[in-house]
Amino acid sequence: MFMNSAPAKKHLTRSIEKPRDIVPSGTVSATDRGFLYGDGLFETIAVQSNCPLLLDLHLNRLADGCERLDIPIDVTKARKAVLKACTDVELGVVRVSLTRGQGGEGYRPPVNAHPNLIVSTRPWPNRFTANQEQGIETGLSDVQLSCQPLLAGLKHMNRLEQVMARLHSPKAWPEVIMTNASREVIEGSFSNIFLLDPKGELITPDLSSCGVSGVIRKTVINLANDERRPVVVRNVRISELLSATELFFTNSLIGVWPIRKFEGKIFAVNFAREMHAKLQSISAVIDA
Amino acid sequence: MFMNSAPAKKHLTRSIEKPRDIVPSGTVSATDRGFLYGDGLFETIAVQSNCPLLLDLHLNRLADGCERLDIPIDVTKARKAVLKACTDVELGVVRVSLTRGQGGEGYRPPVNAHPNLIVSTRPWPNRFTANQEQGIETGLSDVQLSCQPLLAGLKHMNRLEQVMARLHSPKAWPEVIMTNASREVIEGSFSNIFLLDPKGELITPDLSSCGVSGVIRKTVINLANDERRPVVVRNVRISELLSATELFFTNSLIGVWPIRKFEGKIFAVNFAREMHAKLQSISAVIDA
């Protein structure tokens, strides 16, 4: 684990930078806005044979998020830091956090932010494989996602809703389905969700009001498009889950988890397994 | 600035505690859930003559928040840590953060959380006094607060909406008024709001769907009740702001800021100034 300070892209020409607190490796300043307010973004990336999978897609999402939150980012520096952290990782996970750094007046950000880039690695969580193969049982979370179009799609550091969803969900469900207050299906607590309907149409919820726009979600959409199976992105009602042929969760670490059982109904897992295998074949997910 | 680790209240009888990372003063571990997910709560308290003002109200709110988020808290230890931090503070601010600590599986909290208590002090922000005396100009934020009853009222560490509100608001407005998506008035970005209507009724928005339940808001409500001027807590429409006789913001650092100007209209500031003076007289706010 190591830390790095990314100079503001906008201010690369500044000859004098304010001195920043030096903090030891593996820690952040208690006055970092990421800690104080969750004022930052992060990416969680699978690493295989020293290679962070789908790194460009992750960095693009991070940069898009920075644009929306007005946090400067030096993408080249971020890429180098991630690659350096993965040098001796055969199988693992790398997390990249980019916060707005320190300063400002309370919630008001400083005019010239000096963002803080934190890159850390951890071992691969082996508990995923069985879920990929056998599929999981899941249910609806009783925590409903709030609607905030300004933050929708972003993988930002304000994740209390997801924490509450996991806190309140049965241990027997490795993932839960989250809706908004109108009971429209949005995503899992740490993943996106897809439905295969009886006509063979692939559907995933619209994320313009809430949810995280996942890198594997995007990759699945692209793969399906390549195979002339366009994915319909739209609002999804809870009742549609029960009438689907297959349901599955996706994210960068789990790849695809088929949903085998939901509200007493048993679902097929064939399409989901095929999709996971395709993602493995293009090295989009871990082949563990 | 110093740090402290609060053992879980629930687990005070545990004879063996898991070892925790030792992190230097003024920093937090990059794997603390407060940093990773904003999984924690905080209080910002004014300090005068080594005394944190309204400490019991702040600690009560913190404990209520811990109850709702299922984070264990040792209130006695927290109180001691705050008082120790204020030992040599003549005039300043103390922030108490309580996070869920480390561990868990992703968003899922650990079964036995070892919360992390961080107490830090900073100098008094002198820019407040003129606003208290003269009142401020304000306007509506274009950032709308999302509705999340599970988190409403809490001073939790997920504050991106407030950061965005301050990022997008004019510098000439020391505070902004925030609404929900239904354009009901909720609060300021770092304060609560009160309306004095032409009949002399004091009104403050209901916070059961969003907003932070402020310690000074509660104190103003109690003061008004003592004077047989009951405060009506209810939904407030934007149009009601313009028909009010007075408007004012409250929080633990600013005390009362009268709103002198909003959408071109000039408001009286008498009641708000009186309320600030009353708060000073009961040592609820800084007498600077």
Which pLDDT tens digit goes with each residue over B56-88? 999 999 999 999 999 999 999 999 999 999 999
Q: Do A160 and B156 touch (CB under 8 A)?
A: yes
Q: Which residues of chain A have pLDDT under 70?
A: 1-22, 288
Q: Nearest Cα to A186, choosing from A163, A211, A215?
A: A211
Give the count of Cβ contacts less than 8 A between chain A and B. Answer: 168
Q: Kindly report the pTM of this predicted structure.
A: 0.92
Interface check for B181 against chain A (CB to CB < 8 A): the answer is yes
Measured distance CA(A229)–CA(A46) in Å, rounded: 27
Q: Encode pLDDT of B241-251 as tens digits.
A: 999 999 999 99
Q: Nearest Cα to B115, choosing from B153, B45, B67?
A: B67
Domains of chain B: 2-123 (3.30.470.10), 128-281 (3.20.10.10)
Contact list, A46 vs chain B (CB under 8 Å): none
Q: Encode pLDDT of A112-154 as tens digits.
A: 999 999 999 999 987 788 899 999 999 999 999 999 999 999 9
Q: Nearest Cα to B150, choosing from B205, B206, B69?
A: B69
Q: Do A30 and B28 touch (CB under 8 A)?
A: yes
* CA distances (Å), origin A233, targets A163, A195, A205: 26, 11, 6
What is the distance, to the nearest Å, from the Cα of residue A98 to the centroid of all Cα atoms in its chain?
Answer: 14
Interface test with A, best of B20, B167, B191 (most A CBs within 10 A): B167
Give percent of chain A with pLDDT exceeding 70: 92
pLDDT for A25: 76
Interface check for B123 against chain A (CB to CB < 8 A): the answer is no
Contact in structure between A63 and A105 (CB atoms under 8 Å): no
pLDDT for A22: 64
Q: Do B160 and A38 touch (CB under 8 A)?
A: yes
Q: CA of A133 to nearest chain B CA: how many angstroms apart?
A: 20
Q: CA of B147 to nearest chain A CA: how many angstroms apart?
A: 6
Q: Do B38 and A106 touch (CB under 8 A)?
A: no
Closest CB to A166: pick one of B42, B109, B159.
B109
Q: Do B37 and A34 touch (CB under 8 A)?
A: no
* CA distances (Å), origin A222, targets A186, A195, A208, B159, B163: 20, 16, 19, 34, 34
Interface check for B27 against chain A (CB to CB < 8 A): the answer is yes
Q: Which helix (H) or strand (E) holds A40?
A: strand A40-48
Q: Nearest Cα to A66, choosing from A140, A156, A200, A179?
A: A156
Interface test with A, best of B20, B94, B160 (most A CBs within 10 A): B160
Mean pLDDT of chain B: 92
Q: Encode pLDDT of B128-158 as tens digits.
A: 888 999 999 999 999 999 999 999 999 999 9
**Closest residue in B to A127 (Cα–Cα):** B105
Contact list, A109 vs chain B (CB under 8 Å): 163, 166-167
In three-state secondary structure terms, A34 is: helix
Across A49-167, the runs of DSSP E, i.e. the strands, are 51-52, 91-99, 116-123, 136-138
Contact list, A42 vs chain B (CB under 8 Å): 36
Contact in structure between A250 and A194 (CB atoms under 8 Å): yes
Interface check for A76 against chain B (CB to CB < 8 A): the answer is no
Task: Please give the structure tokens belonging to residue B10.
Answer: 């629930």
- Residue found by looking up tokens 């199988």 in the block: A91
Measured distance CA(B217)–CA(B248) in Å, rounded: 11
Task: Please give the structure tokens belonging to residue B159.
Answer: 């504050």
Q: Encode pLDDT of B13-46 as tens digits.
A: 333 334 445 677 799 999 999 999 999 999 999 9
Q: Do A37 and B160 touch (CB under 8 A)?
A: yes
Interface check for B34 against chain A (CB to CB < 8 A): the answer is yes
pLDDT for B22: 63
Q: Where would I find the H helices in B152-258?
A: 160-168, 215-226, 238-243
Is ipTM over 0.90? Answer: yes
pLDDT for B230: 86
Angle (CA) A25 A30 A32, round 5°: 85
- Which of B 44-63 lie inside 8 A of A, CB atoms? none
Measured distance CA(B115)–CA(B98) in Å, rounded: 7
pLDDT for B231: 96
Q: Do A159 and B160 touch (CB under 8 A)?
A: no
Q: Do B165 and A107 touch (CB under 8 A)?
A: yes
Q: Do A163 and B35 touch (CB under 8 A)?
A: no
